[in-house]
Amino acid sequence: MSDIWIALGLTVFAGMATSIGSAIACFANRTNYRFLSIATGFSAGVMLYVSFVEILVKGSDSLVLAYGERWGAWINTASFFGGILLIGIIDSLIPSAGNPHEVHTEEEEAPLHDRSAPLPDFDAIAADPSRAAPGAHDHRVAQAKLLRMGLFTALAIGIHNFPEGLATFLAALEDPSLGAAIAIAIALHNIPEGISVSVPVFYATGSRMKAFVYSSLSGLAEPAGAIIAYLALRTFLGDSSGAIPPQIMGVLFGGVAGIMVYISLDELLPTSRAYGKGHDSLLGLLAGMVVMALSLLLMK
């Protein structure tokens, strides 16, 4: 039972990191874009390394033991690409305006940091490629529509965070030290997501506190998703004692590896590149891989 509480605690920690991003957007004097670039790159490095070196291998071991070397390898590979397909479908169902990984420009965030800052000229931002960033939205639309955009972004992050929460929870349940590493990586990845929710909600309501609260609440989707998925797995796929069979865990680990690889390549690295300069994202990526590799070696 203590393993479940540890896994749940790590999942809550990872999910609530959206509050850090929201606090940076709403209450800090300025946003440190270089930090965000390196942090998201670091998170991608951790996720990519641990997915291929540890999680996919764990899945393969369980499946080979259950189905033999040939079919175990096939099922593990299918699980990996199935995870990529699942998160890809979720991503495709969310319009770009509500995508939690779209980057906001520095001009968009300025009024959150400084009450005297003028509202940006969004037409100029969109027209000038040197200043434009993916996801620059025109926040002069009707407030009701803006609030819906902010709430929809929070919902989008919630949908994204369901599989992320399950990934953290399952990894921590199998190996708490591995789960801790993944929780830190996902926590770093959730920081810019907190900013993404805060910006449109602030423009719609004019309230930094509401922007902070909505963003923080969206992070609760990770532990909620982990609990719901785990209970469903125990109820419908568990054995007589309620434990999840090793072959099911193997399939889940393959899927989790696919989900994390997709998040890293489609979301984290582009976000890191958008926030950073020069080789910031590459430095973060390599640092994440090195730290994860050393952690795994020291834990053996």
**pTM for the full predicted model:** 0.75
Confidence (pLDDT) at 128: 53
What rounded mean pLDDT belongs to the chain?
78
CB atoms within 10 A of CB 201: 27
* In the chain, domain spans: 2-299
Q: At what angle do helices 143-174 and 176-205 cross, to 10 degrees?
A: 170
pLDDT of residue 153: 58
List pLDDT tens digits, range 274-286.
777 778 889 999 9
Say which residue, 76 or 163, is predicted with more confidence: 76
- The percentage of residues in the chain with a pLDDT greater than 70, rounded to a whole number, is 72
- pLDDT digit string, tens, across residues 46-68: 889 999 998 899 899 999 999 99
**In this predicted model, which residue has the larger pLDDT, 235 or 116?**
235
Please tell me the predicted confidence (pLDDT) of residue 59: 92
Confidence at residue 133, expressed as pLDDT on a 0 to 100 scale: 47
pLDDT digits (tens, 9 = 90+) for 179-221: 888 888 888 878 877 877 777 677 767 777 887 887 787 778 7
